[in-house]
Structure 1
Amino acid sequence: MAAYLEQRTTQAAGWSRSLATFSAVLFITAGLAHRYGLIPTPPFLSVLSIVAALAAGSLALAAYAFTRFWYHGDLGGRDLVVGGLVSLAVLAPFLVTGYRAFVYPQLNDISTDLVAPPTLVAAVISRGLDTNEVTPFSAEHRRLQTENYPEVTGRRYEMPFDRASEIVEALLVRQGWTVATSRPAFVGQSEMTIEALAHTPLLGFPVDVAVRLTDEGTSTYVDMRSVSRYGRHDLGDNAARIIAFLGELDAEMAVQAGAAPAE
């Protein structure tokens, strides 16, 4: 009488694939909904924690299924591979976030002027109780920014004040940011601040931006501030936003003036 060895299919592999797939679908759906303003940020942050937990659980099940597959010859190799790869893909943004939180300083408010940063009147009014409070810069804040983002500096352009303000506001709109207010708005003003609402590129977290222009007679000085509405750590996002915007402004001013701007 012949004996047959029956191979078992480990259930952990199937569960790993199911959890990984569900976490990926939840991540994409919630991310798009938040990006387009269909769900507010606080509930979205809770969803992100659920996504991370599901993906981590899926990866753990895939690891257990792999031990069964390797040592006992259980079936389910395809499911554990799919579950492992999908869960790693879902966890990748969280791992990158952890790395950036380690590398960059814990700041969420960056300005080219650390002594008298551009004010955020409209932003303060529109912020809710669950958002970050806009506070004056401490000595530690100034030290951390100076040491980590020395390239975040203001710009001086040989451009008339009125024309410079038009270029700045047009560039803000071109970025896809919502211009909230320009103040003061009267003829003969020597200083104005333009506020706008920006969003992070991937998941659309709201960020308040203020660009201040100061009339220096034959030139215009531009300062910029970028402040995250949520989270104690901006992961380097605000400094990168200021550097990128002012870089584009440099190019635009050079085109308009026919010469490179002076800093």
Structure 2
Amino acid sequence: MAGHYIRTRARTAGWAWSFAAFAVALIPVGIVLFRLNLLDLQNLSWTLLLAGGLAAFGLLLALMAIAKVWRRGAVGGGRAVSALVVASIALLPFAGAAFLYRQYPEGSSAETAGLVDAALAPVASAPTSPDAVLAGRDYQATASMVYEAARTTLEQEGIEITDVASSLTPPRDSEDLGVSGTVQVPVPTLRGSLAAEAPDRFAMKDAREYTIQAVAYAPIFAFPSDVTIRIAEEGAQTFIDMRSASRDLDRDLGQNRRIIVSFLNGVDEAMRAAEGIVPEE
């Protein structure tokens, strides 16, 4: 007479899979709704907190199911392992955020040493860590050359310029519809002579000092940072300094520092490509 064992089913494996899968789906949904302005920052935080809690609970249930399968030979090992993998994937962004939080525990701005004592623009919060103060750059070049390299880098980095001020007043466009004589009669201008494209409002040449105001956006969440860039020519050298401050965040997890580092490295590359100039840090 033959017999067989009755194998039980690890029911927690199914629950673990449900929690983990829902957490994985909730994270991108929350980000998309935030980018579409359907969620504010506080609701986004609660959404991500809920997703992290569900993923952690799913991970715990998956471990319990795997233990039951291992010890009692229960059915459901494949689903439990799948839930473990999915929950781990959902928890990876939270692990990365925890690492950055430990590395950059305070502060929502960063700047180069040349702007530490300068009052070019209001900042949301002053840097509170030595890591938030970086070294600027100086080049053996004119300020106008560095300004063009900075504009190229800003475009490549996706940083939006909002305003530019220079030490010189930009000349009035000579191709504009002008006035003639003392009665201010408009000078006729042929339509064919008008520029096909709008003039570049930030094309400023031959100044010895520039101050650029811009807005940078963090990847994924697009949190805005207000950026100030100062380019100053002194003798044969031109110095470039930068400040970046989060507009909405109390802690930036090092994002403003990364914005500055990436921008300055981009200016280095642009200057090398233009004239083969080696920056002095």
> Could you tell me the TM-score, scaled by structure 2's length?
0.75
* Partners of 2:139 and 2:277 within 8 A in 1: no
Task: State how far apart, in whole Å, the 1-side matches of 2:41 and 2:69 are.
Answer: 41
Report how many residues are paired: 244
Which runs of 5 or more structure 1 residues have no equivalent in the other structure? 122-132
CA distance in 2, matches of 1:118, 1:3: 86
Q: 1:105 to 1:22 in 2, by over 3 A?
A: closer
Trace 1:78-157 onto structure 2 (pairs within 5 A).
78-113=78-113, 115-117=116-118, 119-120=120-121, 134-136=124-126, 141=128, 144-145=129-130, 148=131, 152-157=134-139
Offset of residue 37 of structure 1? 6.0
Counterpart for residue 57 of structure 2: 57
Q: Does 1:229 align with 2:247?
A: yes
Q: Which of 199, 202, 214 in structure 1 is aligned with 2:217?
A: 199
Following superposition, the deviation at residue 189 of structure 1 comes to 5.9
The one-letter code matched in structure 2 to 1:12 is: T
Q: TM-score, normalised by structure 1?
A: 0.80
User: What is the root-mean-square deviation of aligned Cα atoms in Å?
Assistant: 2.8
Q: Distance in 2 between matches of 1:230 and 1:176?
A: 19
Which whole-Å CA distance do the structure 2 matches of 1:35 and 1:256 have between them?
37
Which position in structure 1 is the counterpart of 2:203?
Answer: none
Letter in 2 for 1:160: T
Query: What do residues 32-85 of structure 1 show as CA deviations (whole Å, max 9, x unaligned)?
Result: 454576644333222111110110110111122122222222211111111111
Q: Is the 8 A contact 1:159 1:257 kept in 2?
A: no
Structure 1 residues 178-235: Cα deviation after superposition (integer angstroms, max 9, x where no partner)? 2222235834865432122222234433322221112325432110112223443333
Partner of 1:24: 24
Instruction: Please give the alpha-carbon distance, in whole angstroms, between the structure 2 residues aligned to 1:5 and 1:47.
Output: 45
The 2-side partners of 1:243 and 1:175 are apart by 11
Kindly tell me: are residues 29 and 107 of structure 1, through their superposed partners in 2, closer, same or farther at Cα, counting changes over 3 Å?
A: same
Task: Note closer, same or farther for the CA distance 1:238–1:135 as it changes in structure 2 (3 Å cut).
Answer: closer
Partner residue, 1:163:
145
Report the equivalent of 2:260.
Answer: 242
Shift of 1:237: 2.6
What is the CA deviation profile of residues 135-179 of structure 1, one whole-angstrom value per residue up to 9, with x for unaligned ones?
Answer: 345xxx2xx32xx467x2111223222332232123212211222
Q: Is 1:10 aligned to residue 23 of structure 2?
A: no
1:75 and 2:75 matched: yes
Cα drift, residue 3 of structure 1: 5.4
Partners in 2 of 1:239 and 1:255 — Cα distance? 24
Counterparts in 2 of 1:31-46, with a 5 A limit?
Answer: 31-34=31-34, 39-46=39-46
Aligned to 1:208: 226
Gaps of 5+ in 2: 171-205
The 3 A distance-change label for structure 1 pair 108 and 39 is same
CA positional deviation for 1:93: 1.4
1:257 counterpart residue number: 275
Structure 1 position 256, deviation (Å): 2.2
Q: How much identity, in percent, do the aligned residues show?
A: 29
